[in-house]
Each structure stands twice: as C-alpha cells, then as structure tokens.
Amino acid sequence: MSVDPSTLNERSHEVATKLARLRMHMATHHLDAVRLNLLPNTAWITAGAALHVGEGTDIAASAILISADRAYILTDGVEAPRLRQEEGLEQLGFELVIEPWYAKGTFMRSFVTGKHIGEDHPGLYTDIGEDLRHLRSVLLPSEVARLRRVSRVLAEIMGEVVRSLRPGLTEYEVAARLAAASRRHGGHAVVNLVASDERIYQYRHPLPTNKTIRQYVMAVLCLRLEGLIPAITRLVHFGPLPSELRAKAEAVAHIDAHLIHGTQAGRTMGEMFSLAKQAYQDTGYPEAINEHHQGGSLAYMPREIIAFAGSNILIEPNQAFAWNPSIRGVKSEDTILLTHNGPEIITEVVAWPTWDITIDGHHIARPAILEG
C-alpha cells in the first residue's frame, strides 16, 4: 500500500512548520542537532507517521535526526521499505539513512563529533524532553482537524462497544471488543481499562480481568490513530440506577463541567487543580481529589501535562484536554479542544444520555450512566 497522495500536501506543510519551530528552539539553545527517539515525538514531527514496531515500548524503531538544514531518518534495511512506501517520509522531506541492522548507529557516531546535540529523553545528550512536550501539545490547524477526526472514531468505537455489552460477559471480552474495534479503524488501544460491579469502586486504573459482569461496567479507552491519542470513559448499568450511584454520577458530572468551563487560555494548570479541588468540596466529596489525578492536556500522549497544585504552565488555544474527575464508583471523561471560542467537547457519543449542567449561563452536557 502506498502513501495517500491526497494527504501529502497537508502533511508536508505540517512537517515543514514543525521543523521550522524546532530549529528556532535549537538556535535559541545553541543546539547543532536534535535526535528524536520516542514515539510521541517521531509521530509529531512526521505528521502522524508510524515509526514503531513493538507496541509495548515508547521507543521508535527508527530515530530521527534534525540538523539546521537536514532531517534524517536513522533506519535499517528492515524498516526502510515500509517507511518509504507506506509512510511517505521521503516525500515529506526526510532523508533515509539506511544502515545494516547489525551496524545501526555508525552514521550517528560520526555525525555527533564536536557537536552539541539535544535528545528527547535523558541519555547521552542534552535532554530537551520538556521543551518538546510543549511544542507538540499546541496543535497546528491540520493537527486540530486530525484530532477531531480521530476523536469521532474514538466516540464511535466506545458507543458501539458499550451498547453491545450484556451481563455475563467478562471484562476481558469487553477489552477485546474495544481493542478489535480500534484495530478495525486502523488504530491501537494504548489504554484499555475495564471494571465491573465492585471493581469500579475499588480501583481507579482497573486492568481487565476474567471477572463476569453482573450489573455495572466502566470502559476507558485511549486510542492512538495517526499519532494522536484522545481519551474517553463511559459507564453502563443494567437495570434501574440506584439513587446513591446516581447522586455520585451527577456530582462527578458537575465537577467535570466546571473543569471544562474553566479551561481557558491564560489560566495555569495549577489554577485548574484549584478549581477541581473547590468543585469536589462543593459537591460534598473533598477527599476524592486525593485519590487520583484530575487529568490534563493530551496530544501525542494520553496525557501530556497533568494539572498539579502550584503549576505555572499556561493553557493555550489549540490545546486538547481530558479531565477525568472521579469519585469511588463513578468517573467522567471526554476529550475537549480549546478553540478561540472556548472549550469544545469532541468525543460526544451519538444519542448517549447526558446531564445538562449550567455554569455561568453556559450549558455543558456531561455523559450520564447508560441504563441498559
């Protein structure tokens, strides 16, 4: 399969813009070159290309070396044909440096002599990982369009799978359906969490088990597709919803709505933490903020930056976020995009029941628990 020519112009412009931004950073910090090894960064700089082989690691199979005037893909004869034919990297302006699989690294060793090199993780060279995190989390227009598209796919997957669930299935089977649907759409479920019944109350990060579903299920999915990773959570209850559970779900929906409404350019991540803390207190669950983080920005990782107390990191337009407030037994999570007109939810599941929450005159729909 060859690269889709209809996307090449847009991807080429995106790559050129990112290379220019990265080179400005290099010049400011007196770096002769930067080597990118991690999947979030290789996907970012290539406008969504897949440079990985194993999905159990964040290290790309082929590194990328950016100098002031060249952009190299450091690869071997195993990876080069696919990168050339299916990812279109040469057409995007990258030069493939192809070495024998048993001698990879020769070019890099000769290149770095006498040079100041930056790298995207702690290692042999200057670590610029945090700077790259900021660069990749403020999205270009083409990335915004891509994130919207991927988020629609994510919402479709979640709606399809959760509506197919019935008591008697195991959590493994739910996770398998989420993974299979992700694959059918060309993506990969990088976070695939499932809990049922009492496990929803016990664990914030419930890896699926062979437990059989009785009445209540929570599904969490972060989908990697075209490099970007939006996030979503949905819950379904078979039979009438107990009043105590409904009250908790409504409380967490109010907290989530306050976080979404509060996501404004110029606000800091520390202020978002304070906003969340106040919302937990106002809804009667002040201790719950200590039991799990509240989410943060996302792009090429499920979370790029988490909101912590005292953080001075500024929120900017064209950033995406997934806030994930939770109280034991309930959780609320969607991916939102901060546009110049304010925050916009982009993982809405079609025909899903919602609670309409009003904050400062703004109506924010948050997902209710689906009663099956």
DSSP state of 286: G
Contacts of 371 (CB under 8 A, 6+ apart): 236, 237, 238, 239, 240, 241, 353
- pLDDT value, residue 25: 97
Residue 50 main-chain phi, psi, to 5 deg: -100, 110
Where along the chain do the CATH 3.40.350.10 domains lie? 5-136
**Distance between CA atoms of 21 and 17, rounded to whole angstroms?**
6
Pair of tokens at residue 66: 């950016």
Answer yes or no: CATH 3.30.70.330 is held by domain 141-371: no
**Distance between CA atoms of 66 and 346, rounded to whole angstroms?**
33
Instruction: Report the DSSP beta bridge partners of residue 97.
Output: 74
By the 8 A CB rule, do 309 and 230 touch?
no
Pair of tokens at residue 23: 């080179």
DSSP state of 314: B
Pair of tokens at residue 13: 């412009």
User: Which residues of the chain have a pLDDT value below 50?
Assistant: none
- pLDDT value, residue 2: 59
Q: Which long-range contacts (CB under 8 A, 24 or more apart) does 170-176 make?
A: 170/208, 170/209, 170/210, 170/211, 170/212, 170/213, 171/195, 171/196, 171/199, 171/206, 171/208, 171/209, 171/210, 171/211, 171/213, 172/208, 172/209, 172/210, 174/208, 174/213, 174/217, 174/219, 175/208
Where along the chain do the CATH 3.90.230.10 domains lie? 141-371
Q: What angle do CA 265, 344, 319 make, to 5 degrees?
A: 45
- pLDDT value, residue 372: 85
Residue 150 main-chain phi, psi, to 5 deg: -65, -35
For the domain with range 5-136, which CATH number is right: 3.40.350.10, 1.20.1260.10, 3.40.50.300, 3.10.310.30?
A: 3.40.350.10
Contacts of 102 (CB under 8 A, 6+ apart): none
- pLDDT value, residue 55: 87
**Distance between CA atoms of 272 and 296, rounded to whole angstroms?**
9
The alpha carbon torsion through 263, 265, 266, 270 (nearest 10 deg) reads 30
What's the whole-model pTM score?
Answer: 0.96
- pLDDT value, residue 151: 98
By the 8 A CB rule, do 224 and 298 touch?
no
